Structure 1
């Protein structure tokens, strides 16, 4: 017996586990109703972004800046609606076999790529085969095979059937974007050379270190279902979107207040009152994820005692309060999944969370194999909270007797440098909350995320969660996994965070769902 899924998908498991969260955020924030028949079309939407993406090839990276910009260009076979149900996007429908070993996708017909070519099965097979060679997709799908049955039918033969394969295809992290076969064929180890999708906007120009310009794709073919989450009807209501790279935070704040920019992304927390008192802007505070200290486990932090020393040296609340300024923007929380996620939320391991104890940290440092080596913390001023967190961590580690230096770069350089194990020992990042713990890239050894976690116990528990026959058993295994994470400390969860963005009150129809959305958005 097969299970058939179409535009309104009754995917009960993931309704229950994907709640109000975000790989940016789980809420949908509307700037106002936007009936496209009544709304002015055209014009330019001017955005201010804090950093430049290293690429727009979503197959090769899980970075949020790539995800947020590329979603305007590309589309997936599947996506999430506003209730976090999985729905088709480029697929018209799909069927999953009872044993989960095959998934059959019927493709929408007449969907065009930005180069004018119609999307067909060969493009899907090429795109998905490339996508699953990287990161969490590789860990989830392994050697699964994609087959083009005819021009509009694709079958996925799943190597290791799992509760989470469908979720992975819809996920916004390392997005499973569909691209033309010829673009995939021309890709090398660094990714594709052209950024061509099926989305409502197409890439017109990328002036590196300055801006990306997207223009309306006149031949975009939308589905005719109501807009919901990342699915449903999409329409480009502006002629172009100019994404300006503005690393200076005061320039972003002043720019959105003055009207130079229509939208400013990730604004500093200490700008909240200034923005609140500005009559021409709207503030969006949205749940993000958790601030994280990542250890390089190919260097001196292979030593668990040394990782434990760092965990005891850091005062989580002090770091969060200084980097995020106000409890409206952070919370002390040992969990790796949000409290709203009833099937995953657990405080397991909390005895090792926020255990600030300088004397204990010094004892652990003496017990560790630390010989006074210089510890390099890699950070970026593009993200002020990461930079502030790194400065505070440096002070804490120096207090217990470690020699520490900061290596401050732009974010794109940091992303490159963290791939080099000899270049760093610690870096700070944000992991946006995910729908299942299997999507976190820093846990499973075969994902090879910078930091290079290589724990047989963590790998074993992830495998048991992936193959669990029921949600109840998966939940129990995750409680063990979180306990193990806090015991082995591949990373340190500093605490949960909320972020700020702001936009002009002339912007209508803007929404935010697991990141910003600029289709169905207009400017007066």
Structure 2
């Protein structure tokens, strides 16, 4: 979901935590058309390629045609109706960890910077930036003439407030680990702000192209406190109107948006359809114009239908940075025992999941970084299923007859299919997996507070690899992204060192070492990287 997602329709992002190529987790809830990617958002805003969401960048070129068609079908001033695979649980970008949230609020908030289709950083609210020779001061020149939806001005004081809000230990921030290296924020003049760093922090500029760079209206955030998510106020192309839980979210055009003449639409209405079949049916009937998280088991049938003359919809396929897996709570039984984690892992056949259960709509995975991303390592191998090894680990753990555990999944055809496959595979070694279906918001609460034993979740990916790994395996991510509750001093040291490096080859070596440690510790059981499909 931006952060994660849970495989609700199987397209998690990220928890995921955190959706689509971002966001945090996802519960296989995948990002819908307005997930923040520049071009995707550009469809709504009527602009070319300036604003796309970090992480979805590489996909925008394929998607933009279909999204444009959906938008233009409504005409300028019309309403675009979008079907989501879950009801977004948190509309505060500094607290949200679900990708499905981001699909909505990325239209409410502007970011300090954005990325283009080549993953190069481009201006947004910050028009230029410089980094000091020692790498410890980043100075931002800010756009003038921008107003928040409440009429207050965007300026350097607003940026200072936002960074300090995310760092505040008394605020339940999901962005803390992203801005932690920022020691001090100095207002140089009304439209210049300096970020003083404790040490060089190579991912910072990319961090500011995503949720940590989204600027909330200070006056409204101060007044609302932790209730800000109930009526979010930003400076984006759309303003929040209302949210009726489990029914709809309505956004309306911001008439004072700083890009004159934009956005082209008058309104966007998001409706949640956790049931995969209902989501597809509403698109086919014309009740919504576009849906996210197309159910993978239906891909072949939908492709055939979409290819027929006069078809009411198009099926778009594109790559993704997202992964899906089982997040194990290593702070409580049974998975506080590494041998039991290793036994569970050895029962899983990732090729069967990707190629049989998901009908080839995914790639087997065994690490955080998919092929095509900067930190990908081609030497990583998918471990084969090995029941004798699983039984050997059970014996060593003192549980020769196996053990039982509960795996949380969110509603959805794909989630249940994956859960049942894992359940059957584990049973061959005597591991009894109970599947418990919970609503996505409940899933995030259970995992963030480490009440779960195991959860089927995913992550949507980011352009810079730091945030694809750092918050999931370090202390600062516990309570937001690190739903394993996992810490390891060696991992922490390696990842902290990688943040100091600008050379990706050097960073990749650190990530390789961390991946080798995680392959043994197994706080997460990576299952697959997803291909992405959208129906429009």
Normalised to the residue count of structure 1, the TM-score between the two structures is 0.83
Q: Which residue of 2 aligns with 1:513?
A: none
Q: Which residue of 2 aligns with 1:304?
A: 338
Identify the range of structure 1 (188-197 vs 410-419) with the bigger mean alpha-carbon deviation.
188-197
Residues 253, 271 of structure 1: 8 Å contact kept? no
Q: Which has the higher contact order (CA 8 A, sep 6+)?
A: 1
CA distance in 2: counterparts of 1:369 and 1:151, whole angstroms: 65
Which residue, 258, 264, 285 being the options, matches 2:291?
Answer: 264
Which residue, 451, 459, 465 being the options, matches 1:431?
Answer: 459
In the alignment, structure 1 residue 280 sits paired with structure 2 residue 315: no
Relative distance call for 1:470 and 1:425 in structure 2 (3 A) is: same
Relative distance call for 1:496 and 1:34 in structure 2 (3 A) is: closer
Q: Which residue of 2 aligns with 1:443?
A: 473
Structure 2: which 5+ residue stretches go unaligned? Answer: 1-51
CA distance in 1: counterparts of 2:73 and 2:447, whole angstroms: 48
What is the 5 A alignment of 1:202-241?
A: 202-222=239-259, 235-241=262-268
Q: Which residue of 2 aligns with 1:412?
A: 441
TM-superposed CA distance for 1:389, in Å, is 1.8
Which residue, 20, 26, 31 being the options, matches 2:58?
Answer: 26
User: Which contiguous aligned blocks of 4+ residues in structure 1 show a shift greater than 4 angstroms?
Assistant: 32-39, 189-193, 369-373
Relative distance call for 1:197 and 1:323 in structure 2 (3 A) is: farther
CA distance in 1: counterparts of 2:408 and 2:312, whole angstroms: 37
In the alignment, structure 1 residue 376 sits paired with structure 2 residue 406: yes
Residues 141, 165 of structure 1: 8 Å contact kept? no
In the alignment, structure 1 residue 178 sits paired with structure 2 residue 215: yes
What is the 5 A alignment of 1:360-509?
A: 360-370=389-399, 374-381=404-411, 383-421=412-450, 423-440=451-468, 441-448=471-478, 449-468=482-501, 470-503=503-536
User: Alpha carbon RMSD of aligned pairs, Å?
Assistant: 2.7
How many residue pairs align between the two structures? 465
TM-superposed CA distance for 1:21, in Å, is 11
Q: Which residue of 2 aligns with 1:9?
A: none
CA distance in 1: counterparts of 2:72 and 2:276, whole angstroms: 37
Relative distance call for 1:203 and 1:257 in structure 2 (3 A) is: same
Relative distance call for 1:372 and 1:113 in structure 2 (3 A) is: same
CA distance in 1: counterparts of 2:396 and 2:350, whole angstroms: 23
TM-superposed CA distance for 1:470, in Å, is 2.8
Q: Which residue of 1 aligns with 2:377?
A: 346
Q: Which residue of 1 aligns with 2:49?
A: none
Relative distance call for 1:39 and 1:402 in structure 2 (3 A) is: closer
CA distance in 2: counterparts of 1:22 and 1:33, whole angstroms: 18
Residues 58, 176 of structure 1: 8 Å contact kept? no
CA distance in 2: counterparts of 1:32 and 1:296, whole angstroms: 40
In the alignment, structure 1 residue 97 sits paired with structure 2 residue 125: no
Query: Alignment partner of 1:59: what SS?
Result: coil
Residues 119, 463 of structure 2: 8 Å contact kept? no
Residues 217, 235 of structure 2: 8 Å contact kept? no
In the alignment, structure 1 residue 355 sits paired with structure 2 residue 384: yes
TM-superposed CA distance for 1:295, in Å, is 0.6
CA distance in 1: counterparts of 2:367 and 2:483, whole angstroms: 22
